[in-house]
Chain A
């Protein structure tokens, strides 16, 4: 017996190309979509069965989605049998995928997310590491800082797809996703002071500073690792830093580099380095979104004031 699938394939092959009166060669039956029973040869006594397409044995072969837009990219997540009772994202305009704290289904997000096209960055950070002066400027010393960062990131290819609204593709592509994001960030940190120990003819010359402010501007490139809410992403930042070098009190411009591993826009851990003349600082830190860090900072300042620390 010829299996139904084989029968359908044979029929599809025989009518794969049909010349129209205009001379165009169109695919008349690209794929089987009719029920399998219909693809099987009709019995001789089934004369009442009306052939849908004369001349092809009464078999309708048509793709189920032939009349619809179809593409292999950026399909929405398949529904799952099980789910959490509490959804992490608010209901979107179409598919419930709108990131939290966003407008227009992720067109602008106040907390960076997997499906955000443009996101604002604002966070607070603490970090600890090492301050390594030049070899003749003294020993390596512990270094730590706290600070704040702001900026924005956007997904260029998601934005580009949004504009290709021809042939009714706008709906599908506005729900798209792309792993690459790029943006500009600026930050300010207040770090621990520097210690310089130099050997002179009169002995050791020691000097220190109380604090080390630093201002940075950088270009951040994001690589999102999945489309899930609070998805993990890698951020690579390269830029410049302006900060007083050691105990000189003279702010110089150096290079700033950072690699961060983030969870959505809520938090991230990072390793960063500031490379200035004779003054290198490397640190490992954590930063949290300002919406979350703001109340904590307010509580900390309130407590410090009540506790007499300020």
Chain B
């Protein structure tokens, strides 16, 4: 910019000399400058700043036409250079530069002319914001928030940040167990499955509409117990995820769970011991399922479970456990509205009719 000034004048020999002169002018300026200058907006925006025009402003505008006054008045705001400029330059070169940069001398002392606003950033006023909204097709008024969920998020809802859910599952199970390995036999039988879990759903993915926030995906720990025929009881602990496909109270969603499952007990007996529920050990297996639900109320679930074998050489044969598992399809939901709880208990009671080979 300074180079532009020097080239337009053609009288400066080097950039350093001009810089030093301008610096000297700035240091001496307060003596000759008016006591205080305040920005005053004048009606005629194109009027050039007489004595406080920043050095940069004319340099930018006059690069092609030397000394031409900025027509749109797009001058810099008040700056330190602006107040320091009007001092008479002590050096012999300074008057020429000043005369070229400020072709019209000061008309009135103590008045700083500020340029009018021009379109473009930064945006401050309501008109600016309205223009931005129109450009990006943003609604002026943010949409009203959806009505909050009831039950303090004990039934999951997209308007909930966290939710603590009591889930019950009841459904059909196709169970299988390793049979005689020498003959490649696998025992299969029809049964039922009842599962009671506690979910702690945490917001994993959150989206905003207006000033309202919604959970798009929740993820959190879960744990509980699983029952099937013959008094089989497993514990499980794992994670449960839910992806919301909408924001309404009955929004559809996809549920995915996976967990470690482990045997806790079963109803067993033999010739020596009477048959009753006893603790029973087993290695840790896993279970996983996927469901399609409506709201946090219920979902149709399809999944499977695998129980690992315990067949180490150092374990006596009577304590070994064969591998087993099940595929299941059922209805899972929050017990607070009753339906899933009834389904789970009914499925649990239905295990009485299962015929285990």
Contact = CB atoms under 8 A, between A and B. Distances in A.
B237 A126 contact: yes
Interface stretch (A64-72, A235-243, A296-304): A296-304
Contact of B227 (A193, A229, A266, A304): A304
A287 B222 CA distance: 9
Nearest to B153: A86
B235 A82 contact: no
A267 B200 contact: yes
Which of A206, A284, A286, A287 is packed against the most chain B CB atoms within 10 Å?
A286
Nearest to B318: A206
B298 interface: no
Main secondary structure of the interface of B (DSSP, over half): mixed
A144 B263 contact: yes
A75 interface: no
Interface stretch (B65-73, B95-103, B129-137, B140-148): B140-148
Contacts of A1: 37, 78-80, 82-83
A127 B235 contact: yes
Contact of B164 (A191, A266, A297, A309): A266
A304 B312 contact: no
Interface in A30-61: 41, 43-44
Interface residues of A, number: 66
B278 A210 contact: yes
Interface stretch (B8-16, B115-123, B208-216): B208-216
Contact of A43 (B36, B212, B267, B341): B36
A215 interface: no
B345 A41 contact: no
A76 interface: no
Interface string A188-209: 0011110101000000101010
Interface residues of B, number: 80
B289 interface: no
A308 interface: yes
Interface in A140-183: 141-146
A137 B350 CA distance: 42
A306 B352 contact: yes
Interface string A77-96: 00001111111101000000
Given A307-B227, A308-B231, A263 B197 contact: no
Contact of B235 (A128, A204, A267, A306): A128
Interface of A: 1, 41, 43-44, 81-88, 90, 100, 126-128, 138-139, 141-146, 190-193, 195, 197, 204, 206, 208, 210-212, 229-230, 263-264, 266-269, 284-289, 292-293, 295-297, 299-300, 302-304, 306-310
